Chains A and B, each alone.
Chain A
Amino acid sequence: MPLTRRDFIKITGTGLGATLASGALLSPAQAEGDGPPPDDFAILYDSSKCIGCRACQMACKRWNELPSEPDSALGIYDTPQGLSDSTWTLIKLNKRSEDDWHFFNYQCMHCTDAACVTVCPSSALFKDERGFVALDHDKCIGCGYCTRFCPYGVPHLRTENLLTGSAKAFKCTFCEDRVWGGLGGPFCAETCPTGALVWGQRGDLLDTAKGRVSGLQQQGMTSARLYGETEAGGLHRLSIMFDEPGQYNLPSDPQSPGTARAWQKIIQPLGEVVFGATIVAALGAFLVARRNVRMEGVE
């Protein structure tokens, strides 16, 4: 059967569209297949060393001058119940039974493929040159996209006025001011008395974490595992945990949502091409029309 011109255009267009769409929807990590550089900065949290003292939580509040959060007294390890605009680091108790419990530290995972950075329209959220996800509050316009695209639900808005939309997003910044001010690393890691939270170069922390997991497994804790080596392109907050990520309310295969990439890599360029093409077509049509139309003969 001969191929008509229409069929050819259909097949070519479909193939080209599918190729572009599939490429654009791949996360950078999927597309490149590499993790972050080993000399990136990262935090390692070892749940097996954590005693739940919450020094990290207090250190974060103190360094970043975050206010306390009045809440119902539900229990020592149940308040506050989650991360918020004024709680950027939180220790929670993971109690599986009366004699099987441990703590877990929640904070920004500083993804390599960071959805919050992808969708931020003001570039307030950005990847620091050392890999972690920093936030410039002066640039933030409070749109809240980061709060709804982050697979971990980490950024939170502090809304001043719902009607006007006046708000700012907040989250762990890896204590960027300390890092670049030469004061040390993230204050949570600097403060931790047991070494459950440490910071350093990601490559070194990965080696440490793998050795630690191996040791825990040899001691009979066969479900011990490392979380963050490859997730979301490689996290800059690595975690040693005792169970499936789901047991800690963490996604087992977190990724920057396809919608974030579709928005930035398909819809935004599409819009700009459509607007540009429309303006050029209108301008061209106007020039031709002006030449061809005899105004005096036309009503």
Chain B
Amino acid sequence: MSLRLRGENAVVQIRWIPKYTAVERLLHWVHAATFIPLVLTGFAIFASWLAPIAQGPAGLHIRLIHRVAAVFFGGVPILYTILQPHRLALHVREFLTFSKYDVLWLKAALPYYVFGRHEDMPPQPRFNTGERLNALVLVMGTLTFGITGLAMWFLRDVMSPGLFQALVIIHDLMFVATTAMFMIHFYLAVVHPLMWQSLVSMRYGVVSESYARKHHAMWYYGEKRAKEMWEKQHGGQ
């Protein structure tokens, strides 16, 4: 694939590497498109100072939108499990794999994302530490919302008051955690000046070879080689 830069005659050859399947991209956007109304409608009920807009018919509609969005939000992982179970298993395995390079990534993340200092960023697999943490929070959140939400929806009158109260608290704590994580995810994926390729990858399913080499060396070079290169550069840090 080639790219002609506007206003120049030079042709820059860019090799694109597939990262996401079409199904993954579609489901990602459906998940995002349902999460946002879930957050907004949930926040209207969560924040007591928003009571004036969560009253009467408006409040009833807010609850209805919350439920409809929740069905689609919960349906996405189910659909993904049915359509691409092997990809899901691959992702889950990756999400649960952590190493000392993740500690190094966490230390280097702030200088990189704020000040643009990339030299201390350690090699990463297909998903970097932040992406994996985001995914884990989202997976836990989806499961928690599913269990607590369905129970509050259909079993409210048959469960004990204490259990219902606990479910409300758990639902809300997870709402805080996932929404905060979503804000960070949105900032890094959409707003951050360095990260435009992550948005491209979720639009077209590919990342450039140079981006993969620089940001996901373990994926690009293979884990062993990427680690050797890192250790050589950083003196066995």
- A residues whose Cβ falls under 8 Å from a Cβ of B: 120-124, 138-145, 147-149, 153, 157, 162-166, 257, 259-260, 262-264, 267-268, 270-272, 274-275, 278-279, 282, 285-286, 288-290, 292-295, 298-299
- State whether B116 touches A279 (Cβ < 8 A): no
Instruction: Please give the distance in Å from B56's CB to the nearest CB on chain A.
Output: 5
- Shortest C-beta distance, B37 to chain A (Å), equals 15
B172 touches A263 (CB 8 A): yes
Known: A121-B48, A148-B165. 4 other contacts (CB 8 A): A122-B51, A165-B60, A257-B162, A275-B180
23 contacts between A and B (CB under 8 A): A122-B51, A122-B55, A138-B55, A138-B56, A140-B56, A141-B62, A142-B60, A148-B164, A149-B165, A153-B161, A162-B153, A163-B67, A257-B162, A275-B183, A278-B180, A278-B183, A285-B187, A286-B191, A288-B114, A289-B194, A294-B116, A299-B208, A299-B214
Residues of B near any A CB (own CB < 8 A): 45-48, 51-52, 54-56, 59-60, 62-64, 67, 113-116, 118, 153-154, 156-157, 161-162, 164-166, 168-169, 172-173, 175-176, 179-180, 183-184, 187, 191-194, 197, 208, 210-211, 214
What residues of chain B lie closer than 8 Å to A163, measured between beta carbons? 67
Chain A residue at minimal CB-CB distance from B161: A148
* B63 contacts A165, C-beta separation under 8 Å: yes
Residue of B nearest to A266 (CB): B169
- Residue in A148, A164, A257 whose CB lies within 8 Å of B64: A164
| Contacting residues, chain B, for A286 (C-beta < 8 A) | 187, 191-193
The reply to whether B63 and A142 contact each other, CB–CB distance below 8 Å, is yes
For A138, the closest partner residue in chain B by CB is: B56
Report B-chain residues with C-beta under 8 Å of the C-beta of A289: 113-116, 192-194
Residues of B within 8 A of A124 (CB): 55
Set of chain A residues within 8 Å of B52, measured between Cβ atoms: 123
Q: Given A121-B45, A149-B165, A271-B175, are A290 and B60 also a contact pair (CB < 8 Å)? A: no
Asked whether, in the complex, the Cβ of A267 is within 8 Å of the Cβ of B45, the reply is no
Set B60, B113, B168: member contacting A285, Cβ < 8 A:
B113
Collect the chain A residues with CB atoms within 8 Å of residue B193's CB. 286, 289-290, 293, 295
Contact B164 A141 (CB under 8 A): no
Query: Are A268 and B64 also in contact (CB < 8 A) when A259-B166, A285-B113, A285-B114 are?
Result: no
Among A121, A144, A257, A292, the residue within 8 A (CB) of B54 is A121
A293 touches B179 (CB 8 A): no
Q: Which residue of A lies closest to B186 (CB)?
A: A282
- A271-B176 contact, Cβ under 8 Å, with A260-B165, A289-B193, A292-B114: yes
A148 to B162, CA, bound (A): 8
CB-CB nearest in chain B for A273: B176
Given the known inter-chain contacts A267-B172, A275-B179, please indicate yes or no for A298 contacting B116, CB distance below 8 A.
yes
Given contacts A271-B175, A278-B183, contact A149 B113 (CB under 8 A): no
Residue of A whose beta carbon sits closest to that of B166? A259
Across the interface, A144 reaches (CB within 8 A) one of B51, B67, B156, B175, namely: B156
Measured CB to CB, the nearest residue on chain B to A299 is: B210
Q: Check B63–A145 contact: CB distance below 8 A.
A: no
Contact A293 B154 (CB under 8 A): no
Tell me the minimal C-beta distance from A17 to chain B in angstroms. Answer: 15
CA gap between A194 and B214 in the complex, in Å = 87
Closest residue to B66 on the A side, CB-wise? A165
- Picked from A138, A157, A268, the residue with its CB within 8 Å of the CB of B47 is A268
Q: By the criterion CB–CB under 8 Å, are B165 and A164 in contact?
A: no
Contacts of B172 on A, CB cut-off 8 Å? 263, 267-268, 271
Q: CB-CB < 8 A to B191: which residues of A?
A: 282, 286
Q: Which residues in B have their C-beta under 8 angstroms from that of A121?
A: 45-46, 48, 51, 54, 59
Closest beta carbon of chain B to A121's beta carbon, Å? 4
A166, A259, A274: the one contacting B176 at CB < 8 Å is A274
> What B residues does A166 contact at CB under 8 A?
60, 64
Per the bound structure, the CA–CA distance linking A144 and B152 in Å amounts to 9
Measured CA separation A272–B179 after assembly (Å): 11
B63 touches A123 (CB 8 A): no
Across the A-B interface, give the 8 residue pairs with the lowest CB-CB distance, nearest first. Answer: A141-B59, A259-B165, A293-B116, A139-B55, A148-B164, A282-B187, A123-B51, A271-B176
* A-side contacts of B176, CB under 8 Å: 267, 270-271, 274-275
Q: How far is the CA of A138 from the CA of B52 in the complex (A)?
A: 12
Contact of B183 among A148, A257, A282, A292 (CB under 8 A): A282
Assess whether B168 is in contact with A263, with CB atoms less than 8 Å apart.
Answer: yes
Nearest residue, chain B, Cβ from A270: B176
Question: How far does the alpha carbon of A114 sit from the alpha carbon of B184 in the complex, in Å?
Answer: 38
Let me know if A162 and B154 touch, CB within 8 A.
Answer: yes
Once the chains bind, are B59 and A122 in contact (CB under 8 Å)?
yes
Q: Which residues of A contact B168 (CB under 8 A)?
A: 145, 259, 263
A197–B159 alpha-carbon span in the complex (Å): 34
Q: How far is the CA of A141 from the CA of B44 in the complex (A)?
A: 12
Distance A275 CA – B175 CA, assembled complex (angstroms): 11
Specify which of A122, A262, A272 is in contact with B56 (CB 8 Å cutoff). Answer: A122
